[in-house]
Structure 1
């Protein structure tokens, strides 16, 4: 039993091939960690796969197009700007477990559809990918911390990654990925709870252990952001 997770990650079916869409800093770090953990990693960007082939090889991954990635990957991790979520091929990703590591950044331009306190951004992604099963993870820790803080299971100073998802089996599978990549998984709740991991929440940017991350999540309802979210949802529930 791992200290950050209520279930046994060893019992979850293992993802063998992980597809990562987005070859920037976060995508590259997660690709490197996944390769080190024994995963087959496919890496795709919006451009021709040949343009990232050398970088992918240096990570131990294989550069492919999005269509090939969707066809071959057991799960797909999104590590691209959230503002581009609507460009994702929903039909190609139908039936897939999709791990959402994206965040809304004001630098991408003000977007009311991505900054609505009535809903989490992962729920917005889920609406676009209606035939997929979205689980939020790997979004609240900076890419440098992700690279530097990975530790073996049982290490006293191991850091934690929060997960939000609606299907217990999918959450368990993602928890196993988190554990394999060197972090203690902490379940925040359903996909709507992913709002506790977004910019403006205490847990966003958190580089802490499972106990402290869990405490941050418990404090969210009384935080400034939590009060804003609660008032917005009470006044006009999101449909």
Structure 2
């Protein structure tokens, strides 16, 4: 499969390496050009590309850019065929991103992004830490394999993305349509809590839409003020405690 990834931060770069190792043709691009990606692609099969080249002839395009930058990708994707699956891995943090009134007023993050770029999206790989993606993947059928939620309006596209997620080391749980994708946004029990598929289903069902933003901001503040160490174990434990996630 031909996969283009826009954004070479921790998530985008890790996905590029994992999916290339799984045998896909992966082109990775960022805003600074291919020459800035040499340290990331060195020793891998990942191809450093321009943004235009990364989306050309891609079967799947993964957008892993800062949330507020999503509208800037509309022009890049304008001529991409409708059959191409586009995945959104981003998350909205108003303290980090510019404030977006529609999202602050309750519009699901990826529904807003889909409207900005003018095409359907699948939400995936957003609800796990970069460290989890790098360190905690396992083979399919592994007992208690970590699962991540996905959401989207096209069942066929979600099935393709679920297969790619499995190749990166994780099970998936279908969280529903983009309208329902608030259930996997920051501040919910499903977000960055490293649950098995069974527990993740329960966590998605337990999410409370109105409480998520305040919990998101409190979790972010706990890391900014240093009360939670910036390591995987501490952040997962804090996320579980502050969101009421299932841990048994």
* Same fold per superposition (TM over 0.5): yes
Distance in 1 of aligned mates of 2:130 and 2:90: 12
Residue 228 of structure 2: aligned partner: none
Q: Does 1:53 align with 2:38?
A: yes
Residue 154 of structure 1: aligned partner: 141
Instruction: Flag structure 1 segments of 5+ consecutive residues without an equivalent.
Output: 1-15, 229-239
Instruction: Flag structure 2 segments of 5+ consecutive residues without an equivalent.
Output: 216-248
- Measured against aligned partners, the alpha-carbon deviations of 1:113-132 in whole angstroms (never above 9, x if no partner) come to 363343111111111221x3
Q: Of the two structures, which has the highest relative contact order with CA contacts closer than 8 Å and spacing of 6 or more?
A: 1
Distance in 1 of aligned mates of 2:56 and 2:156: 21
Distance in 2 of aligned mates of 1:17 and 1:100: 17
Q: Cα distance, 1:198 vs. partner?
A: 1.0
- How many residue pairs were aligned? 212
Q: 1:114 to 1:101 in 2, by over 3 A?
A: farther
Q: Does 1:141 align with 2:128?
A: yes
Residue 108 of structure 1: aligned partner: 96
Give the alignment's TM-score, normalised by structure 1: 0.82
- Measured against aligned partners, the alpha-carbon deviations of 1:178-223 in whole angstroms (never above 9, x if no partner) come to 1122111100000112111111212111211101111100111487
8 A contact 1:90–1:128 mirrored in 2: no
Distance in 2 of aligned mates of 1:80 and 1:224: 26
Residue 62 of structure 2: aligned partner: 77
Q: Does 1:91 align with 2:78?
A: yes
8 A contact 1:28–1:59 mirrored in 2: no
Give the alignment's TM-score, normalised by structure 2: 0.79
Distance in 2 of aligned mates of 1:103 and 1:169: 24
Give the alignment partner of residue 195 of structure 1, picking from 182, 185, 205.
182
| SS at 2:193 equivalent | coil
